[in-house]
Amino acid sequence: MKLQGKLIQILPLQTGEGKNGTWKKQEFIIETSGQYPKKICISMWGDKINNALLQIGNELIAHIDIESREYNGRWYTEIRAWKIEGKANNESDSAPNFPPPTFDVPDEYDVDPF
């Protein structure tokens, strides 16, 4: 699944130690465009964090997975990005660049009736 929006906030980097070693998590907020923009918190883990793209004001496309987990009778949902890219890098969202149409009309039809 993809989410597209403008990066409006970067939350502090979180790090820690787990049973598999050191971990790091970066959360950031994007705002979608349209008539009713939405603000969405997205997290990235480990080596997937791309600090070069995480600049306030950048238009991003986040490839995400959404997962919910239950803990003590409550449900928690996380939107986790497995890849982010700048909007300019994704040409599939732009219209194809076709040459303008040409109309070759035979000379016998090129008569001005007036």
As a three-state string, the secondary structure of the chain is: CEEEEEEEEECCCEEEEECCEEEEEEEEEEECCCCCCCEEEEEEEHHHCCCCCCCCCCEEEEEEEEEEEEECCEEEEEEEEEEEEEHHHCHHHCCCCCCCCCCCCCHHHCCCCC
pLDDT at residue 106, rounded to an integer:
59
Q: What is the chain's pLDDT, residue by residue, as a tens digit (114 residues)?
A: 999 999 999 999 999 998 888 999 999 999 999 899 999 999 999 888 888 889 999 999 999 999 999 999 999 999 999 999 988 644 444 445 556 555 555 555 555 555
Q: In this structure, is residue 112 part of a structural domain?
A: no
The amino acid occupying position 108 is: E
Q: In this structure, is residue 47 part of a structural domain?
A: yes
Q: In this structure, is residue 63 part of a structural domain?
A: yes
Flag whether the pTM goes above 0.75.
no
CATH of the domain at 54: 2.40.50.140
End-to-end CA distance of the chain: 59
Range of the domain at 76: 2-88
Q: Could you give the number of structural domains in the chain?
A: 1
pLDDT at residue 13, rounded to an integer:
93
pLDDT at residue 101, rounded to an integer:
57
Q: How far apart are CA 42 and CA 14, in angstroms?
A: 13
Q: In this structure, is residue 110 part of a structural domain?
A: no
